[in-house]
């Protein structure tokens, strides 16, 4: 393989650091751009190891601080800042692959610009497709940019589709761990603290997605992501709770065969698959599955009565237009408020529902419509949070 230049947006996060762990084992992968929001301590360590051409620190004062530190160390890496800086890194001329691992809708515009510049995308940032899936997928087709999923369920489905005729797919089956409160009663759910919600049983991830996993909104966002990535109708997407997180998702075909992708939960697998696709490389650092040790694989229906976020996501997708962007924006605001202890766990779906009810949906939205509705939904959600 020839050298490949890659950029990682959100390199200081959970996916970002695991991506760098894959990258550091292959000298042919050259990191030319990295970004962080404010964690310049970790970003500096990454700069010293990978020597990228450019980094972006979104928070301006932190960018200046990092610039001064690099100057003192006589490091040549250029530092850019703000959300504009994210666009600079996402569109670096020599970049061949952009890994989008920032959290939240902030990933949308850099991903769009990267696609417009013909970059291939390894997509972890699911909010990009949730908010503007049609626009992003259309742009990717027009610019011949491939979007390879990093989200483990979508990577699994993508792998299960390889070599098969898309028109013979009858169903996509997304597995869900069910989160830490899978077996809780309504009464117990009222008592949940931030600390409880941050303890995911199978995965170590960033705070936002960990809370989304506990509310099942993560699965809802993934249903929307799957619809756009695989161009399939909502009625052909099923969610099943599989608490062991060994089967990462499945594809059912018309001939009655169901193909699944299995492995221990380790995001370095979907990350390396996305980087090297269509090749599979040897990854001795990823533990191989031992089914006799796993023993049992269990499955059950999701409890939408207790975890209404999944249902809200289905509704948003069914309504379409700007509604999924509004669902996403409300969720980002309310989850942050939950992490700041301003709202309770059970208030999360209630507030999102209120914001969706208030929204006047725009069909066939432009990017600008989506950005405007995102802004409105954030403001309205904040007002609702203040009333709690």
Among ligand NDP, Mg ion, none, the one that 82 touches (CB under a kind-dependent 5 to 8 A) is none
- Distance separating alpha carbons of residues 196 and 106, to the nearest angstrom: 27
To Mg ion, the closest distance from the beta carbon of 126 in angstroms equals 8
Nearest to ligand NDP by Cβ — which residue? Answer: 13
To ligand NDP, the closest distance from the beta carbon of 58 in angstroms equals 4
Among Mg ion, ligand NDP, none, the one that 209 touches (CB under a kind-dependent 5 to 8 A) is ligand NDP
To ligand NDP, the closest distance from the beta carbon of 292 in angstroms equals 27
55 or 343: CB nearest ligand NDP? 55
For position 151 contacting Mg ion by CB under 5 A, the verdict is yes
To ligand NDP, the closest distance from the beta carbon of 334 in angstroms equals 16
170 or 266: CB nearest ligand NDP? 266
- Cβ-Cβ contacts under 8 Å for 267 (sequence gap 6 or more): 14, 15, 18, 150, 152, 203
To ligand NDP, the closest distance from the beta carbon of 217 in angstroms equals 10
Residue 237 forms beta bridges with which residues?
172
Q: Would you say 32 and 5 are in contact if contact means Cβ atoms under 8 Å apart?
A: yes
Contact track, Mg ion, 153-182, x by CB under 5 A: x-----------------------------
Contact track, Mg ion, 60-79, x by CB under 5 A: --------------------
82 or 361: CB nearest ligand NDP? 82
Q: Would you say 134 and 159 are in contact if contact means Cβ atoms under 8 Å apart?
A: no
To ligand NDP, the closest distance from the beta carbon of 372 in angstroms equals 19
CB neighbour burial string for 54-82, b if at least 16 within 10 angstroms, e if fewer? bbbbbbeebbebbbeebeeeebebbbbbe
111 or 233: CB nearest ligand NDP? 111
37 or 359: CB nearest ligand NDP? 37
126 or 227: CB nearest ligand NDP? 126
To Mg ion, the closest distance from the beta carbon of 209 in angstroms equals 8
Residues in contact with Mg ion, total (CB under 5 A)? 3
Which residues are near ligand NDP by CB under 6 A?
10-16, 36-39, 58, 101-103, 106, 124-127, 151, 203, 205-206, 208-209, 267
For position 113 contacting Mg ion by CB under 5 A, the verdict is no
Both tokens assigned to 213: 């996993």
257 or 340: CB nearest ligand NDP? 340
To Mg ion, the closest distance from the beta carbon of 213 in angstroms equals 8
Q: Would you say 57 and 37 are in contact if contact means Cβ atoms under 8 Å apart?
A: yes
Nearest to Mg ion by Cβ — which residue? Answer: 151
Binding footprint of Mg ion on the chain (CB under 5 A):
151-153
């Amino acid at each position: 393989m020839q050298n490949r230049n890659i950029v990682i947006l959100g390199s200081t996060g959970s996916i970002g650091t695991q991506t760098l762990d894959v990258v550091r084992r292959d000298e042919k992968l050259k990191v030319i751009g990295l970004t962080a929001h404010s964690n310049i301590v970790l970003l500096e360590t990454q700069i010293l190891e990978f020597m990228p051409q450019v980094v972006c620190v979104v928070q301006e004062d932190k960018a200046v601080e990092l610039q001064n530190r690099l100057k003192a160390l006589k490091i040549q890496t250029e530092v850019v800042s703000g959300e504009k800086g994210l666009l600079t890194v996402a569109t670096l001329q020599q970049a061949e692959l952009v890994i989008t691992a920032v959290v939240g809708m902030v990933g949308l515009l850099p991903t769009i610009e990267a696609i417009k510049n013909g970059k291939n995308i390894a997509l972890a940032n699911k909010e990009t497709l949730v908010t503007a899936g049609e626009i992003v997928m259309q742009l990717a087709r027009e610019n011949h940019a491939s979007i390879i999923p990093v989200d483990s369920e979508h990577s699994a489905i993508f792998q299960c589709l390889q070599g098969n005729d898309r028109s013979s797919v009858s169903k996509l089956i997304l597995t869900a761990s069910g989160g830490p409160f899978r077996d809780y009663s309504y009464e117990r759910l009222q008592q949940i603290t931030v600390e409880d919600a941050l303890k995911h049983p199978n995965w170590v991830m960033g705070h936002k997605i960990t809370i989304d996993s506990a509310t099942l909104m993560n699965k809802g966002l993934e249903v929307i992501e799957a619809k756009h990535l695989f161009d399939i109708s909502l009625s052909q997407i099923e969610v099943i709770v599989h608490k062991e997180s060994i089967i990462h998702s499945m594809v059912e075909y018309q001939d009655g065969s169901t193909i699944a992708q299995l492995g221990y939960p380790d995001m370095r697998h979907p990350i390396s698959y996305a980087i090297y696709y269509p090749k599979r490389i040897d990854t001795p650092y990823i533990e191989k599955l031992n089914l006799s040790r796993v023993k049992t694989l269990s499955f059950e229906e999701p409890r939408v009565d207790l975890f209404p976020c999944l249902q809200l996501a289905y509704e948003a997708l069914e309504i379409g237009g700007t509604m999924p962007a509004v669902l996403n924006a409300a969720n980002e605001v309310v989850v942050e408020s939950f992490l700041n202890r301003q709202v309770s766990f059970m208030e999360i779906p209630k507030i999102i529902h209120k914001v969706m009810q208030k929204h006047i949906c725009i069909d066939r939205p432009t990017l600008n419509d989506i950005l405007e509705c995102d802004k409105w939904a954030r403001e309205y959600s904040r007002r609702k949070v203040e009333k709690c």
